[in-house]
A and B are shown apart, each in its own frame.
Chain A
Amino acid sequence: MEATAPIYSALVAAGFPSPADDHLEGKLDLHELMVKRPAATFFCRADGDSMTGAGIHSGDLLVVDRSVQPHDGDIVVATLDGGLTVKTLRKTEDGWELASANPDYPSFSVDPDDGVQIWGVVTFSVSALAKR
């Protein structure tokens, strides 16, 4: 009868333990930063040049939080003419207006009877800089 001995192939670490082991924390997560209330947060795509003055360019990704109470000066998504539009919400002398951030585009006064409603507040805008 032949005697055999098992060969262990697993590596046994015998070096100096990493001093960083005690300091492991979670990784940074953009979603965590930009999506405070997941149930109320929607992503949209901007299309057009009327908001370039506010740093929103055509094709940008907009993070829209519907749970945020809209205030004067907020950039909002509103329902207008059966579609969704992004504009700056402004208080005027006789009410509210949806203002463009580009002199080539008009602003609209908000008349609730026209079916204009604030859909949500834009909390972040994400521009892709390397288009590939």
Chain B
Amino acid sequence: MAVYALVDCNNFYVSCERAFNPALEGKPVIVMSNNDGCAVARSAEAKAIGVGMGEPAFKLRHLVDSHGLIMLSSNYALYGDMSERVMSVLATFSPGAEIYSIDECFLDLDGMPVDNLTAWSQQVRATVRRWTGIPVSVGIGTTKTLAKLANRLAKKSKKANGVLDLSRDARWIEAALKQTPVGDVWGIGRQYAALCGVNGIRTAFDLTLQPDGWIKKTMGAVGLRTVMELRGTPVHTLDTAPSDKHTTCCSRSFGASVTEFEQVHDAVMTFASRAAEKIRGEGLVSGAVQVFAYTDRFRPDQPQFSLNSMIRLSPPTSSTPHIIGAALKGLKSAWRDGYEYKKAGVIMLDLVRPEDIPRDLFSPPPESGARPTALMAAVDGINGKMGKGAVGFGLVPDDAPWKMRCSNRTPSFTTSWDDIPVVKA
């Protein structure tokens, strides 16, 4: 019988911050998105004073004075490093592990010589907590969807103490399904949840009672697979070797609206440079680059425009000057004056490994441009050693409006020698 565990870090970003700053313990803390836009992680205390997920930061500022809310900028260097630590601890517990997101991991427990999965899960929790400082919850089920559902309940229930094993008893599964609103089921989008609501389907249990034909007709094959998983038939297996990405994006909202071509030009140059670095890091080359910029959709009083342009890269390449060149060419061709741009970005399309580049008779041989050139290897080497952005293409002013706003970022405790925690002696 298949048995899966979903291990999920509790309020992951906040927990990472607390691991190095005990003063944050017991206080309402949120971590904000890029550019300090909105709340993307909330401590239990922050949830308790009514901070909603995704709530804009400016609407929360009054809680700083009234409730002592602590608002931190996101520190992705820290979260990435802590995530790796948590995942590597989990990998010691089960040979089959699928890292599902920065703070979630599926474990395949099939055939594990464990009598009591609840006790085993408590040991997993305690170990991750002790070694990394990060609290986690564990949900266990006979399908990945049920494991996910178990995890959600494990987090909510005090009695569960962070662990819920639904694989042991069919009655528990039924009780769990009855407690879970349809919208909270993994893989059921908001749209389908609304559709279910209209049809009187409130809980996950109600959904499992619907005839297959109706589900397939209204929610498609994907929806049917979700329902099969809720009924205990495994459809999704562990994805331990994630396939190569096909696209990657680097974009940012501007702190202030931008009207000058030069400013968008600089932003696109930086995003293109970053995107090129990203794909090189994964050993990929790109066959096309897409540039976009658009105005603020939430300002109907302003003229709206969305700029979009795609340039082919032939042969596919990961070289920064080629990619910057193409991106700027795309920007120039699609640029229009007279608008207040709010966001811009660069998307790398058709990503492939250099050895998988499709050959055709008329394009130049891939050898010429596909492999990272010596220059690129040197640039990446220097930036790896001296820190991001030590060398780059083009000079960009420090006060550019699209540069990250992060007024409240904590130090890179685990990834920079200058930032390691100071311990009072």
Interface on A for B, CB 8 Å cutoff? 37-40, 42-51, 56, 58, 61-62, 66-67, 77, 79-80, 82-86, 115, 117, 119
Contact = CB atoms under 8 A, between A and B. Distances in A.
Contacts of A45: 420-423
Interface in B97-145: 130-133
Contacts of A51: 425
A39 B424 contact: no
B131 A39 contact: yes
Contacts of B131: 37, 39-40, 66-67
Contacts of B21: 82
A46 B420 CA distance: 10
Interface of B: 20-23, 25, 84-86, 88-89, 130-133, 413-414, 417, 420-425
Nearest to A87: B425
A48 B424 contact: yes
Contacts of B422: 44-45, 47, 84
A48 B20 CA distance: 18
Nearest to A84: B423
Nearest to B25: A115
A50 to B, nearest CB: 5
A62 B423 CA distance: 9
Given A38-B88, A115-B22, A48 B132 contact: no
Contacts of B133: 66, 119
Contacts of B421: 42, 44-45, 84
A118 to B, nearest CB: 10
B345 to A, nearest CB: 34
B22 A66 contact: no
A47 B425 contact: yes
Contacts of B23: 82-83
A40 B130 CA distance: 8
Nearest to A57: B425
B424 A66 contact: no
B423 A66 contact: no
Nearest to B91: A39
A67 B92 CA distance: 13
20 contacts: A38-B88, A39-B84, A39-B88, A39-B132, A40-B130, A40-B132, A44-B423, A45-B420, A45-B421, A46-B425, A50-B425, A66-B131, A66-B133, A77-B423, A80-B424, A82-B21, A82-B22, A83-B22, A84-B20, A84-B22
A48 B85 contact: no
A48 B22 contact: no
A93 B47 CA distance: 43
B88 A86 contact: no
B423 A47 contact: yes
B425 A48 contact: yes
A50 B423 CA distance: 11
B425 A39 contact: no
Contacts of A67: 130-131
Contacts of B132: 39-40, 66
Which 9 residue pairs across A and B have the least CB separation, nearest first? A82-B23, A40-B131, A48-B425, A79-B22, A39-B85, A46-B425, A44-B423, A39-B88, A51-B425
Nearest to A105: B425
B308 to A, nearest CB: 43
A47 B424 contact: yes
Contacts of A86: 423-425
A16 B23 CA distance: 66
A38 B87 CA distance: 12
A85 B423 CA distance: 5
Nearest to B131: A40
Contacts of A84: 20, 22, 421-424
Contacts of A37: 131
